[in-house]
Structure 1
Amino acid sequence: MPPPDADTLPLHTATEADARLRGTAPSQGPDDAAAWRLEAVFVALALVGLVGGLVAEWQDWTAASWALYAVAYVFGGWFGLRAGLAALRNLTADIDLLMILAALGALAIGAPFEGAMLLFLFSLSNVLQNVAIGRSRRAIGALMELRPDAARVERDGTWVEVPVEQVAIGDVFRVLPGDRVPLDGVIVSGRSEVDQASLTGESVPVGKAEGDEVFGGTTLGGGALDVRVTKTAADSAIARVITMVEDAQAQKADTQRLIDRFEQPYALAVIGMTLAAIALPLVLWGDPFRPTFYRAMTLMVAASPCALVISTPAAVLSAIAAAARSGVLFKGGVTVEEAARVRAVAFDKTGTLTAGETRLTDAVALGGGGADALVALAAAVQARSEHHLARATVRDAEARGQSVAEAEHFVAVAGRGVEGTVAGRTVRIGNPAFFADRDVACLGDALTEVERLRAQARTAVVVTEAGPDGERAVGVLAFADVLRPSAREVVAQLKALGIEHVAMLTGDTAEVGAAMAAEAGVDAVYADLLPEAKVALIRDLEARWGGVAMVGDGVNDAPALAAATLGIAMGGAGTDVALETADVVLMADDLGKIPYLLRLSRRTRRTLAVNIAISLGAIVVMVVTILGVGLALPLAVVGHEGSTVLVSLNGLRLLGARD
């Protein structure tokens, strides 16, 4: 199935996307890979100073121990000090400032080891957080590696390799077995299976032949293909995927926004609490300065919300990366959380629950001939017609392995049918009105079949054959936009997930909608809907059920996609407007990804709840323990940084959430 058109969303150039994802763009800042490596080196030097200072202290080498602790302070606190000073210049306070103040406080009371350990563990946890989030980003950035840097292009009758940026629309490139396709295009010759898992998440290779589309980043099987370029490197599907996911990473989830707003006032509150913990015992109760100050520094460390701040991005970015690898594109962290609220799902019918393509569903032969013979006869006449029913007949004949020979003396009668000569006999195909003035044997039997098939919401036509002995009805053909093979199973899976209401929305008549709804197993069908009526219905469903997901593909679905709690667009069949409006894109038009994305979003929400509980729980336990039994500063440091590392690793587990 084709992924969405690269023209449908705002797009950075492939070079810009590549640079940002590989950490080479200037805007990358602290996420830059080189900065991470430098910080890791500083952490290692801080550890050397910490251990060396402790050994020197045990040996009573006072000068050496202080010198080594100084090394730990400098390298362990370097990045935190820079961030804390930047916060002060902006008249704000953050966690880095808290850690620097706590370490300096430990030094002031003659506890350099505790301060050095705090700075070491704090800088170590920062590196681990960056690794966790960076791994999520690299999982998506690796998509850029799927696109070859060069393409084998025909130039003046010979095949030469040129950079993909120099390949223009209309050029023809050749891909050999096992190679990756460099650019999007249409096959002009050759046949091969293509592994599209890297782009669409499809689990099995897809057969491709002349006239089919192929996409950059996919891998050929056993055949070679010549492909005409339809999109430049900057506009390819793979570049668009990168941009969509990158934009998703830039959006913060609701939980993250709350925590961001919470960080500064919380940091100020911790500083205020620390000052109060120093001043009140000294002024009111006359407690000794050293133990009072030590307890206050321990409280500052324990109450710092490092784990809380990192809990959301570690989980949300991992979920976005896992979904992208499975062919589901979330457009933001907010979307990941919104999907967990869904309790009702509304499907558009045509092109969403159905294949969006007219197909021959029934071939009823009258008399001695079989269905294959009837289809071959009809296809011979309809091969010269451009009508969508005619094309469906020809496709079905080819699928049955029959060769289609064009009829002679072809005539089309607008609004009624077609006729032509096959093997010396006149064959007519049309609706009942086409035969109203003709003397046709067995026409009554044929019309009975027409009525039966129409009751099943199918379009039915009569096939007759005329010779010297008169005209006779030889069969009836019925057509419909058939249900996607996976539709009924997906509806069942949604109900098993606890979705309380599954509806189908359509602009077709109630009869057509009811027949398709019964086949799909949905709870309700809403027919004869204009776009504004779909929006009103979505709002009504939200009022009744809460979160509603709308799944669609057409221009007329775009308003409903925008109005729904979660808009889901079909990536291959979807129009530009639908893809632009939706919150989630299914790259392979696979409805089976909908239960997956709902399960992933719910798992992400559970992970966020666990992370927040761990973060707040650790703070509460340590503060109570400090005030109750005098928890030592080294233990508070271990508890604080340990909870930070724990929530980072817990969020990283979502990277393995596959369909």
Structure 2
Amino acid sequence: MVGGEILLRMADSNPSAGGLRLAGWLFFAVAYICGGYFGLLASIDSLKARKIDIDLLMVLAAIGAASVGAPFEGALLLFLFSLSNVLQDYALNRTRSAIHSLARLRPDTAVLLDSEESNQGRVVQASEVEPGMLVQVKPGHRVPLDGVVIRGSSTVDQSSITGESMPVTKQAGDDALAGTINQEGEFVVRVTKRSGESTIAKVIELVENAREQQAHTERFLERFEQYYAIGVIAATIAAGTIPSLLFGADWGPTVYRAITLMVAASPCALIISTPASILSAIGNGARRGILFKGGVHVEQAAGIQAIAFDKTGTLTEGRPVVQEVVAMGDLGTNDIVAAAAALESRSEHVIARAVLEYAEQNQVAWSQPDDFKSRSGLGVQGSVNGQQLLLGSPSMLQENKENVTDFTSVQAEIERLEQEIKTVIVLARANGSQWQVLGLITLIDRLRQGVPAMVKQLRQAGIKHVVMLTGDNRTAARAIANEAGIDEVFPELLPEHKLDAVRRIEEKFGPTAMIGDGVNDAPALAGARLGIAMGAAGTDVALETADIVLLSDDITRIPYLIALSRATRRTLITNISIALGLIALMITGIYLIDLPLPLAVIGHEGGTVLVSLNGIRLLLFKHKTGNFHLS
């Protein structure tokens, strides 16, 4: 390109040196072929599809420049256009590499054991392992497939899947996720899912699909590009012919100015402004266990004005813990716990696990019950150390209150405890036909750590209204909401009524997100403007139903999600403003100060690179408490 310009200038100063002119044009021909080859192929493909794209505009502008004696400007245009495409592809590949890195988390091999007693296994392909088989996970190795730990214990780094910053202890009975890293000990996992069905496999599939689902802005600009490109060609033809035909202007300068107009008005920066930003946001979220199932959901999250939380398992831990033991008979609190644990040791109920955990934590030993019976909906009954005991809900007293010793005072104490938002279970002993209440055990479903701070951060991020949906009674629900700092409560809801509640919130406050555990909240998650499933690692329903999936139970991911989406929206607005501003500035310059073609080329390609780089800044987005920023 430069050589061709030098040779043509030398030929102009020496008219008899025809060979220099020919050599100069040959140099430019090589520059045109090198700079425009791929653009020409893309232009031909778009014409075959009956479309007009930016590649065609650039090729036409370069040919037009050569036709009016400005081959250097045309070659410069093709060179910078190709260079900007390379930089643009690099920028987008940076965003895709953040997504593709997920695929490298999935191990290709596994150490297969023949039996639970085996200590030495054989290495096989992970794809060959079937559910029910046993795999050995050694220190420093990744868990090859989803499963349940049956032997051994260790701490596991789950940050690559769930985004949790701290290692998680794994022991017999705990779930293990493929792709997580075993840190210290050695354990054996019974596989529950094939390699292609694991959580990490579904995450990779969802993120890959998300790349194909365009955001609203991106779809609009893609449709807009066709009409805009046709308009640019029409404007170029008009600008190149009307001044000469109607006003007698010289053809050379007029066509040159028209070609400059075509370059300046081409929407390269405008079209690339959206995918660079959206893909960067998707990649940033994926690295932190936040899965956007499409670019459209990134934009939707940015416009959310209200958030509705399911209570159990989302705002609360989702499992009861014993808080208090109240003695009401001749037994001490430890004896009450020992008797309750003995009865619950035969039960699989969630309350039974809470009682047994409490006994273990307080080093209370228990014996095995005789004549054990489970009374559905009421509790459990059995003989412990020769005494016939009953452990269950207060409703069992109501059914036999005439046979309960001192029923009135017992019922008053139960009502007092329930007003304190506690679940109460009763331990009673049979005395002939009478039942004597020995003690009451209260349980609570504790609020997750950090919920009040999370609600405060949501307001700082611009959320106007925070709501809690629950099946609890109004008094209990209001107490939890007050502790969390939540604005409004919809109590006593069945799962199928939660969607109606979300719609009522949306009518009053605008676009509303529903956040739940992805199982009993599936209708509300699917029907809300934006459905967000939390703690969904290994939960197929959540991965299928929600628009956005949080793989961990870390509730601080929710303000991060909102802040990331709003930062993406700001970046989109900035990019589109830059692109349109440069086009308007250059067109104005063409007709006010005769902006030359080389400067239009630099402005056009420079703007394209600028918006691409601005978009990939979202890969570096970080969140600090109360402060959402790009670094």
Match of 2:565 in 1: 601
Checking the alignment, whether the CA contact within 8 Å between 2:306 and 2:505 is kept in structure 1 is yes
Checking the alignment, whether the CA contact within 8 Å between 1:553 and 1:574 is kept in structure 2 is no
The answer to which of 368-377 and 226-235 deviates more is: 368-377
In the alignment, which of 193, 199, 203 is matched to residue 231 of structure 1?
193
Match of 1:277 in 2: 239
Does residue 508 of the first structure (1) align with residue 467 of the second (2)? no
In the alignment, which of 586, 591, 595 is matched to residue 555 of structure 2?
591
Distance 1:215 1:574 in 2: 8
Match of 1:44 in 2: none
| Deviation digits for residues 424-482 of structure 1 (CA, Å, limit 9, x no counterpart) | 666553445448456758x77654432221112322123357899x9975532112333
In the alignment, which of 219, 223, 230 is matched to residue 181 of structure 2?
219
Match of 1:19 in 2: none
| Deviation digits for residues 242-297 of structure 1 (CA, Å, limit 9, x no counterpart) | 11111111011110111011111111111111111111111122111211111111
Match of 2:220 in 1: 258
Match of 2:48 in 1: 89
In the alignment, which of 163, 179, 182 is matched to residue 125 of structure 2?
163
Matched to 1:462, the amino acid is V
CA deviation after TM superposition for structure 1 residue 628, in Å: 0.4
Does residue 335 of the first structure (1) align with residue 297 of the second (2)? yes
Does residue 76 of the first structure (1) align with residue 38 of the second (2)? no
Checking the alignment, whether the CA contact within 8 Å between 1:326 and 1:658 is kept in structure 2 is no
Does residue 53 of the first structure (1) align with residue 8 of the second (2)? no
SS for the counterpart of 1:355 is coil
Match of 1:114 in 2: 73
Distance 1:221 1:619 in 2: 55
Over 3 Å counting, the alpha-carbon distance change for 1:581 and 1:256 in structure 2 is: same
Distance 2:134 2:460 in 1: 48
Distance 2:276 2:132 in 1: 43
Unaligned ranges ≥5, structure 2? 12-19, 624-631
Q: In the TM superposition, what are the counterparts of 1:518-533 in structure 2 within 5 Å?
A: 518-533=482-497
Match of 1:308 in 2: 270
SS for the counterpart of 1:406 is coil
Matched to 2:40, the amino acid is L
The answer to which of 357-366 and 116-125 deviates more is: 357-366
TM-score with structure 1 setting the length? 0.86
CA deviation after TM superposition for structure 1 residue 307, in Å: 0.2
Match of 1:550 in 2: 514
Match of 1:461 in 2: 425
Checking the alignment, whether the CA contact within 8 Å between 2:542 and 2:549 is kept in structure 1 is no
Distance 2:83 2:332 in 1: 76
CA deviation after TM superposition for structure 1 residue 70, in Å: 1.8
Distance 2:337 2:547 in 1: 43
SS for the counterpart of 1:342 is coil
CA deviation after TM superposition for structure 1 residue 529, in Å: 2.6
Over 3 Å counting, the alpha-carbon distance change for 1:573 and 1:52 in structure 2 is: closer
CA deviation after TM superposition for structure 1 residue 187, in Å: 0.8
SS for the counterpart of 1:309 is helix
Match of 1:348 in 2: 310
Over 3 Å counting, the alpha-carbon distance change for 1:294 and 1:416 in structure 2 is: closer
Distance 2:221 2:354 in 1: 56
Distance 1:587 1:410 in 2: 40
| Deviation digits for residues 10-35 of structure 1 (CA, Å, limit 9, x no counterpart) | xxxxxxxxxxxxxxxxxxxxxxxxxx
| Deviation digits for residues 372-425 of structure 1 (CA, Å, limit 9, x no counterpart) | 564344213321233432232012223445454434454555555445555566
CA deviation after TM superposition for structure 1 residue 500, in Å: 1.3
Checking the alignment, whether the CA contact within 8 Å between 2:518 and 2:536 is kept in structure 1 is no
Match of 1:24 in 2: none
Checking the alignment, whether the CA contact within 8 Å between 1:483 and 1:516 is kept in structure 2 is yes
Match of 2:340 in 1: 378
Q: In the TM superposition, what are the counterparts of 1:138-537 in structure 2 within 5 Å?
A: 138-155=97-114, 158-365=120-327, 374-412=336-374, 416-422=378-384, 428-432=390-394, 433-434=396-397, 436=401, 447-463=411-427, 475-537=439-501
The answer to which of 171-180 and 605-614 deviates more is: 171-180
Does residue 562 of the first structure (1) align with residue 533 of the second (2)? no
Using the aligned pairs only, state the percent identity: 51
Distance 1:615 1:363 in 2: 68
CA deviation after TM superposition for structure 1 residue 74, in Å: 0.4
Distance 1:515 1:521 in 2: 10
Distance 1:55 1:365 in 2: 101
In the alignment, which of 76, 91, 94 is matched to residue 132 of structure 1?
91
Checking the alignment, whether the CA contact within 8 Å between 2:145 and 2:191 is kept in structure 1 is yes
The answer to which of 332-341 and 63-72 deviates more is: 63-72
Over 3 Å counting, the alpha-carbon distance change for 1:85 and 1:416 in structure 2 is: closer
Distance 1:656 1:619 in 2: 28
| Deviation digits for residues 543-567 of structure 1 (CA, Å, limit 9, x no counterpart) | 2111100112355533322332211
Over 3 Å counting, the alpha-carbon distance change for 1:379 and 1:556 in structure 2 is: closer
CA deviation after TM superposition for structure 1 residue 141, in Å: 1.0
CA deviation after TM superposition for structure 1 residue 365, in Å: 4.4
The answer to which of 65-74 and 241-250 deviates more is: 65-74
SS for the counterpart of 2:206 is helix
The answer to which of 227-236 and 601-610 deviates more is: 227-236
| Deviation digits for residues 205-252 of structure 1 (CA, Å, limit 9, x no counterpart) | 110001111111110010111111111111111110011111111011
Q: In the TM superposition, what are the counterparts of 1:28-47 in structure 2 within 5 Å?
A: none
| Deviation digits for residues 124-167 of structure 1 (CA, Å, limit 9, x no counterpart) | 11111111112211211111111111111124865111111111
Checking the alignment, whether the CA contact within 8 Å between 1:446 and 1:476 is kept in structure 2 is no
Distance 2:408 2:184 in 1: 53
Distance 2:361 2:193 in 1: 31
SS for the counterpart of 2:515 is strand
Checking the alignment, whether the CA contact within 8 Å between 1:513 and 1:527 is kept in structure 2 is yes
SS for the counterpart of 2:190 is strand
Distance 1:227 1:416 in 2: 36
The answer to which of 149-158 and 289-298 deviates more is: 149-158
Matched to 1:561, the amino acid is L
Checking the alignment, whether the CA contact within 8 Å between 2:198 and 2:538 is kept in structure 1 is no
Distance 2:364 2:293 in 1: 46
Matched to 1:289, the amino acid is W
SS for the counterpart of 1:152 is strand
In the alignment, which of 601, 611, 617 is matched to residue 581 of structure 2?
617
Match of 2:15 in 1: none
Over 3 Å counting, the alpha-carbon distance change for 1:52 and 1:411 in structure 2 is: same
| Deviation digits for residues 308-357 of structure 1 (CA, Å, limit 9, x no counterpart) | 00000000000001001111111111100011111111112223222332
Distance 1:367 1:133 in 2: 72
Checking the alignment, whether the CA contact within 8 Å between 2:140 and 2:183 is kept in structure 1 is yes
SS for the counterpart of 1:222 is coil
Distance 1:366 1:458 in 2: 17
CA deviation after TM superposition for structure 1 residue 647, in Å: 0.2
Match of 2:505 in 1: 541
Distance 2:267 2:518 in 1: 46
Checking the alignment, whether the CA contact within 8 Å between 1:351 and 1:573 is kept in structure 2 is no
SS for the counterpart of 1:482 is coil
Checking the alignment, whether the CA contact within 8 Å between 1:327 and 1:586 is kept in structure 2 is yes
TM-score with structure 2 setting the length? 0.90
SS for the counterpart of 1:484 is coil
